[in-house]
């Protein structure tokens, strides 16, 4: 019996069982399998507490979603579809055309991913308020510059998309049949050059639009960055869900998390269409991932579903899973990954302190 079940009260579980007509001789006679069937009753009756830990997890996730929204908004202003669902910006034709090389529907997908992130942070904040907790507001940290290219709004930003160091190991991680980051395994970079140095994922200004190969390199960088961001969310939700106590809060994490995965798989597919090139302005190389030394099953571009790999223990057969899902330090791990990505270059000490506190509090939450 897990802590939350205990917490929710034996009276509820007894009542549920009795109402269901099950003849039970007392709590001791209830098997573990049967117990799981009473969880929906707890949820319906809202009888289990929302703990401090649940609030801490939701507050960290609200911050993460605000950060996601800020970066996706910048992508949408230049390469998506500004409209009433995702207001701001007016589009940049050269950048949009380069994104469309990865897929003709890229503006639609960028728009839809942005709308999803807006809905995530607004929902979590509204839920926090409804439960008497403080929502998260990072507005005072909107101090970073906007792109000066045609199409972008000139407003303060939380994130910086103009000096990214994109970790592209997710490409190999999800194709591996023998390794899992939860076992301490590390993975090669699909685009080694992108994981070193600093590269723009949006045009910084209109001068960035004069060389078509440079524009394509910027769009390719964005294509790999989209998937990097969304694979992070794909792991973050199941990792933190293991620390949630209240069933309704668990439902929130289990319902938002898989939409991050829907985004990730879309972006994994599109990144595979990024054309091989060398950026003449900075030497950034996008290799042909279907050719040596790449190629083979770890790299082939039409693999967009996770390969089965080791999970929990090597004694079990390989399983197609999200990876990592280790819960220990998951929130801090996300902050570190986003920081290493270059997203927060130029942010204040106070911003990092606020984000780290939110992460530490989420990581300190425990089930029950
Ligand atoms: Fe999200
Ligand atoms: Fe996301």
What is the distance in A from the centroid of ligand 2 to the CA of 68? Answer: 6
Same domain, 100 and 140: yes
Whether 56 contacts 365, CB under 8 Å: yes
Predicted pLDDT of residue 32: 35
Proximal ligand: closest to the CA of 71: 2
Predicted pLDDT of residue 306: 96
What is the distance in A from the centroid of ligand 2 to the CA of 319? Answer: 24
Please give the helix or strand (H or E) that residue 241 lies within, else none.
helix 212-241
Proximal ligand: closest to the CA of 261: 2
Q: With a cut of 70, which residues of the chain have pLDDT below it?
A: 1-47
Cα torsion for 78, 81, 82, 86, to the nearest 10°? -110
What is the distance in A from the centroid of ligand 2 to the CA of 187? Answer: 22
What is the distance in A from the centroid of ligand 1 to the CA of 95? Answer: 24
What is the distance in A from the centroid of ligand 1 to the CA of 258? Answer: 10
What is the distance in A from the centroid of ligand 1 to the CA of 71? Answer: 11
Same domain, 84 and 191: yes
Tell me the C-alpha distance between 16 and 227, whole Å: 44
CA distance readout (Å), 156 to 4, 138, 139, 256: 42, 12, 9, 27
Same domain, 38 and 110: no
Predicted pLDDT of residue 31: 34
Tell me the C-alpha distance between 362 and 358, whole Å: 6
Same domain, 149 and 129: yes
Proximal ligand: closest to the CA of 255: 1
Same domain, 40 and 119: no
Closest CA to 28 of 48, 9, 15, 14: 14
What is the distance in A from the centroid of ligand 2 to the CA of 113? Answer: 7
What is the distance in A from the centroid of ligand 1 to the CA of 65? Answer: 5
What is the distance in A from the centroid of ligand 2 to the CA of 257? Answer: 9
What is the distance in A from the centroid of ligand 1 to the CA of 210? Answer: 34
What is the distance in A from the centroid of ligand 2 to the CA of 48? Answer: 29
pLDDT digits (tens, 9 = 90+) for 34-92: 333 334 434 444 547 999 999 999 999 999 999 999 999 999 999 999 999 999 999 99
Tell me the C-alpha distance between 256 and 84, whole Å: 23
Q: Give the number of domains in the chain.
A: 2
Closest CA to 197 of 352, 347, 294, 340: 340
What is the distance in A from the centroid of ligand 1 to the CA of 68? Answer: 6
Proximal ligand: closest to the CA of 62: 1
Q: Taking the alpha carbons of 146, 152, 153, 157 in that order, is the dihedral positive or negative? A: negative
Same domain, 214 and 80: yes
What is the distance in A from the centroid of ligand 2 to the CA of 75? Answer: 13
What is the distance in A from the centroid of ligand 2 to the CA of 213? Answer: 28
Gyration radius of the chain over CA positions:
22
Q: Where are the beta strands (DSSP E) in 177-247?
A: none
Same domain, 80 and 16: no
What is the distance in A from the centroid of ligand 1 to the CA of 263? Answer: 9
Predicted pLDDT of residue 3: 36
pLDDT digits (tens, 9 = 90+) for 259-274: 999 999 999 999 999 9
Same domain, 40 and 63: no
Closest CA to 247 of 55, 50, 57: 50
What is the distance in A from the centroid of ligand 2 to the CA of 152? Answer: 21
Proximal ligand: closest to the CA of 256: 1
Instruction: Say how many residues make up the chain.
Output: 368
Same domain, 138 and 182: yes
Q: Which residues pair with 96 in a beta bridge?
A: none
Same domain, 75 and 167: yes
Same domain, 64 and 43: no
Give the domain-ending residue among 9, 29, 48: 48
What is the distance in A from the centroid of ligand 1 to the CA of 190? Answer: 24
Q: Where are the beta strands (DSSP E) in 175-307?
A: 277-278, 285-286
Residue 43: which domain range?
1-48
What letter does residue 298 receive in the DSSP assignment?
Answer: T
Q: How many CA atoms lie within 13 A of 37 on its CB side?
A: 12
What is the distance in A from the centroid of ligand 2 to the CA of 117? Answer: 6
What is the distance in A from the centroid of ligand 2 to the CA of 322? Answer: 15
DSSP conformation letters of 99-158: HHHH-TTHHHHHHHHHHHHHHHHHHHHHHHHHTT-PPP--GGG--BPPP-STT-----BS
Closest CA to 223 of 286, 180, 176: 286
Same domain, 172 and 307: yes
What is the distance in A from the centroid of ligand 1 to the CA of 117? Answer: 4
Please give the helix or strand (H or E) that residue 17 lies within, else none.
helix 10-19
What is the distance in A from the centroid of ligand 1 to the CA of 291? Answer: 34
């Amino acid at each position: 019996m897990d802590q939350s079940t205990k917490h929710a009260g034996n009276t509820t579980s007894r009542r549920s069982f009795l109402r269901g007509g099950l003849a039970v001789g007392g709590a001791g006679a209830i098997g573990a399998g049967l117990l799981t069937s009473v969880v929906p009753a707890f949820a319906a009756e809202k009888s289990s507490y929302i703990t401090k830990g649940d609030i801490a997890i939701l507050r960290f996730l609200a911050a993460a979603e605000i950060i996601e929204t800020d970066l996706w908004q910048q992508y949408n202003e230049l390469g998506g579809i500004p409209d009433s669902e995702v207001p701001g910006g007016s589009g940049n034709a050269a950048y949009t055309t380069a994104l469309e090389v990865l897929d003709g529907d890229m503006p639609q997908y960028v728009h839809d991913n942005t709308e999803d992130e807006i809905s995530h942070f607004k929902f979590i904040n509204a839920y926090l308020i409804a439960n008497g907790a403080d929502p998260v507001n990072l507005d005072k940290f909107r101090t970073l510059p906007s792109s000066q290219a045609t199409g972008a709004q000139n407003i303060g930003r939380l994130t910086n998309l103009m000096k990214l160091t994109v970790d592209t190991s997710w490409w190999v991680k999800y194709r591996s049949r023998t390794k899992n980051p939860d076992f301490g395994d590390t993975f090669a970079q699909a685009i080694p050059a992108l994981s070193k140095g600093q590269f723009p994922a949006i045009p910084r200004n209109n001068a960035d639009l004069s060389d078509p190969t440079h524009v394509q390199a910027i769009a390719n960088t964005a294509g790999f960055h989209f998937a990097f961001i969304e694979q992070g969310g794909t792991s973050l939700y199941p990792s933190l869900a293991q620390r949630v106590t209240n069933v309704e809060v668990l439902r929130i994490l289990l319902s938002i998390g898989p939409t991050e995965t829907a985004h990730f798989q879309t972006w994994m597919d599109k990144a595979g269409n990024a054309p091989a090139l060398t950026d003449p302005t900075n030497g950034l190389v996008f290799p042909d991932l279907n050719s040596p030394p790449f190629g083979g099953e770890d790299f082939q571009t039409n693999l967009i579903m996770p390969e089965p790999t080791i999970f929990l223990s090597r004694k079990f057969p390989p399983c197609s899973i999200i990876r990592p899902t280790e819960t220990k330090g998951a929130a801090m791990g996300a902050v570190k990954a986003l920081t290493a990505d270059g997203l927060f270059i130029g942010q204040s000490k106070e911003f990092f302190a606020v984000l780290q506190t939110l992460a530490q509090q989420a990581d300190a939450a425990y089930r029950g």
